Amino acid sequence: MGFDRQQFAAALESVRCRRKALERSPNRQSDTQDLDFSVHLFETLPSTNQKLWELLDAGAGPLTVAIAIQQEAGRGQWGRQWHSPPGGLYLSVALAPNLPAQQSGQLTICSAWGIATILREYDLPVLLKWPNDLVLSGLKLGGILSETRVQQGRITKAVIGVGINLANPVPETGINIQSFLTDLTNPVLSLEMLAAITLVGLMSGYHFWQREGIDTLLPAYANLLTSIGRSVLVDGRPGVVVGVALNGDLRVRLLPKGFAPSSEIYLKPGTISLGYE
């Protein structure tokens, strides 16, 4: 499976047009701007995130994009490896958010929400698993890895990496788009189209967050979360997932136990696994 630049340019145009048409309601401001991506294509890379940091260090600017057909050392969350054989989408985009470092979790939230929202417009009922998983039919369709550089307490540069299973083999807890779609004319089935949809979705999530703020984004993100209302155990104590806090932490209501009354706690990403049922 290769990647055709011309097909990608046409795909980007068609995704933008379709999005703009959907946004053309009277009270809605557009989040789909004409973005000038500078796209770098590679056959094989260790990691598109790593490559993008190298390009940024060499002077590349925001909206630089790295795409690879396969990765040999794809990076996943919590230091895991992201298995990246040909057939999947492996893409990273550079942003320059200039935001307080404490808001870095919100980059993952707006990107995940933007991508899930646009994929839903292409007949893929994608949901989200906190904080960064794209979920389809209860299985992992893809994931997002945000990396940031901070100077004097502010995020000056960010790399948002996205991996989505298109036609690549997946583990038992995973799913790819090809196996889900029965309509073989669905445009998402081409790598160029999936890359265009992902970029437009990610950037519209980012613009929506910048324009409306986290207070408006969070309820929209929570609407797509699979884990709200789910029972969990925190250090042996039963609780229920009730939402996501402004800083991106998971909000869990602990149930009363013995003399301990009910209380709400915030959990950082990586401190609890919500698993795949």
Binding site for ligand BTN (CB under 6 A): 47-49, 71, 74-77, 80, 82, 90-92, 132-133, 143-145, 161-163
Instruction: Compute the least distance from the CB of residue 175 to ligand BTN, in Å.
Output: 14
Which residue, 45, 28, 37, 44, is CA-closest to 9?
Answer: 37
- Cβ-proximal residue to ligand BTN, closest one: 143
Q: Which is nearer to ligand BTN, 76 or 87 (CB)?
A: 76
Q: Which is nearer to ligand BTN, 111 or 117 (CB)?
A: 111
| Dist CA 158 CA 148 (whole Å) | 4
The CA distances from residue 222 to 6, 113, 212, 228, 232, in Å, are: 37, 9, 16, 8, 17
Q: Which is nearer to ligand BTN, 103 or 108 (CB)?
A: 108
Pairing assessment for the beta strands 139-151 and 154-164 based on DSSP bridges? antiparallel
Q: Which is nearer to ligand BTN, 129 or 207 (CB)?
A: 129
Instruction: Compute the least distance from the CB of residue 277 to ligand BTN, in Å.
Output: 17
Instruction: Compute the least distance from the CB of residue 261 to ligand BTN, in Å.
Output: 36
Task: For residue 266, list its beta bridge partners.
Answer: 251
Instruction: Compute the least distance from the CB of residue 180 to ligand BTN, in Å.
Output: 18
Instruction: Compute the least distance from the CB of residue 224 to ligand BTN, in Å.
Output: 16
Q: Which is nearer to ligand BTN, 45 or 217 (CB)?
A: 45
Q: Which is nearer to ligand BTN, 49 or 106 (CB)?
A: 49
Instruction: Compute the least distance from the CB of residue 152 to ligand BTN, in Å.
Output: 27
